[in-house]
Amino acid sequence: MDKKNKLKTTLMDSMVLTGIGLAGFYWVCESFMYFFLEPEANFIQHVLGPDMFETWTRVMVLCLFLIFGSHVQYTVNKRKEADDALRESEEKYRTILESIEEGCFETDLDGNLTFFSNPFSKIIGYSRNELLGANTATYTAPDTAAGMAGITRQLRETGIPQNVTDYDVIRKDGTSVSLELSVSLLKDQDGLPLGYRGVLRDVSERKKTDEEKRKLEAQLQQAQKMESIGTLAGGIAHDFNNILMGIQGNASLMLLKIESDHPNYEKIKNIEQYVQNGTELTKQLLGFARRGKYLIRATDLNEIIDKSSALFARTKKEISVHTDLAEELWTAEVDRGQIEQVLLNLYVNAWQAMSNGGDLFLQTENVVLDRSYVKPYKVEPGRYVKITVSDTGVGIDKETQERIFEPFFTTKEMGRGTGLGLASVYGIIKSHGGYINVYSEKERGTVFTIYLPASEKAVAVEKVESGAAPIVKGSGTILLIDDEQMILDVGIELLEELGYTVVSAMSGQEAIDIFEKDRNEIDLIIMDMIMPGMGGGETFDRLKEIDSDIKVLLSSGYSINGQATNILRRGCDGFIQKPFNMNQLAEKVQKILLSKD
């Protein structure tokens, strides 16, 4: 059936058949007319004509009709083919326009829509009926519309297509959407402006992703900056503690030589107090540098918050403290004293932001954080205890928030703050494997959020420390290792005053050489952790290779964290942080030596 229809169509469209048909029609009409004019003629004369002239005339006219008919059919066929091709092309490009995500449109010079695709109406958020003949001002955000006036003016003047990267529209439901727009000028046959043709695409999700990426990069850069500053702060604290060690050691030696009624006795005691104040300052620096954990125990953070907030509420009665503490809160392995310092710093910070009184809200909860959430903070995913400290104070501007955890940065006037409070908070939390966030708006208060890794351990029972023991002298030989001559000098005198024989070394290699020769004479080694060349860790391992039973007391201007903790885990017998006085040194040495027996 299809082949017959195709053949029929082909025959009907044939130019030759059309010409033959017209010529045949002419011949029949001519013969019929001759029949009436010459009825006596025979059939042959009726068909061919009465004579040769008439016959050839008919043949020539027949040929003319054949040519004319063929030409007419050719023209009709070509026009039909062109119409079919145009229809197919229009259908093709209409399908393309409707299938792509971008929205296409055309407007007149006044901005009235004359054409638009279905994706266009979907992006804009209006139906086709609502957009037919509508002006672009119907959906364009006011700020964008003001900018577009300049762009269309430039387009008319130059004729150069324009790209608009921030084109905001307001949909019918009131939501705002960000678009990108490419617009060109439509011209008539004379080259005069006729309107505008544009293509727009929805870039809201891309902008949202870019914004999230920018925030992550900013957080990463901030973390790297704080890491660098922390390294610098830790080095300063270490060197400062060595200086304080020299002052404290000499003060302790001077106190041994004078009675309590001596005129200079109180002054020397004041020097010791000043050294203690300096030590507290370096503790804050070491806290920021994440080198400040001292005594780590599984702790109930609710208990710390309860006690610290109650104490704060009694002293700052103009502040109303509200607690919302989670039941069955997971434990966290923390230095209790340092977490108390963190909370106190945050309480004080909130109090200073509420000079006329206000509310302080404390909340805890158990949370589980995934890898994507913790990635910018360089911590491990998993279970965390979340502490939220929020106030109703004056708030913090964005510029201050970006620097709020930097050491020595303060918004207080000269002499009112060191700029180490929040810096130490940041360092302490980071040293515990957690992180801290701040969010604030001016006149809307501030929220600090702390995340500390949760522990599977039960709450540790805290032992009650007894009072300071009196100075106990001893005997034996001690190898003192330190690369600072000042520390060696004061250390030798302190130990000799305590009754010990002292052998000194200024480097790890020198100490190893001495110990290899005199190891049977040496009862204890007091060793600095940070030394040039061979550091404390390598020196300790080499000494243990020579005599695995040798007792070692680690000493450092850094706190017991990081490298010191690793050395202690490898068998080191104790740690003493610089600066220390004679009582502290005597107690540590006696404790280690007695454990030898």
Q: Which domains does the chain have, with CATH numbers?
A: 2-97 (no CATH), 103-202 (3.30.450.20), 293-453 (3.30.565.10), 477-596 (3.40.50.2300)
Confidence (pLDDT) at 594 = 85
Lowest mean pLDDT among 190-194, 350-354, 372-376, 535-539: 372-376
Neighbours of 185 (CB within 10 A): 19
77 and 13 Cβ atoms separated by less than 8 Å: yes
The model's confidence at residue 413, banded by pLDDT at 50, 70 and 90, is very low
Confidence (pLDDT) at 281 = 66
**Tell me: the pLDDT tens digits for 48-63?**
556 666 666 666 766 7
Which has more confidence, 254 or 546? 546
What is the side-by-side strand order in the sheet with 162-170? 113-116, 103-108, 193-202, 176-187, 162-170
Which has more confidence, 38 or 138? 138
Which has more confidence, 5 or 370? 370
Determine the average pLDDT of the residues in 169-185.
86
The model's confidence at residue 417, banded by pLDDT at 50, 70 and 90, is very low
Q: Above 50 in pLDDT, residue 466? A: no
Confidence (pLDDT) at 468 = 45
Nearest to 289 by CA among 424, 450, 421: 424
Alpha carbon 390 to its chain centroid, in Å, reads 23
What are the helix (H) ranges across 331-484? 336-353, 371-374, 398-403, 421-431
Taking the model in full, what pTM does it have? 0.45
Lowest mean pLDDT among 227-241, 436-450, 492-506: 227-241
Q: Above 80 in pLDDT, residue 489? A: yes
169 and 176 Cβ atoms separated by less than 8 Å: yes
d(CA 199, CA 207): 18
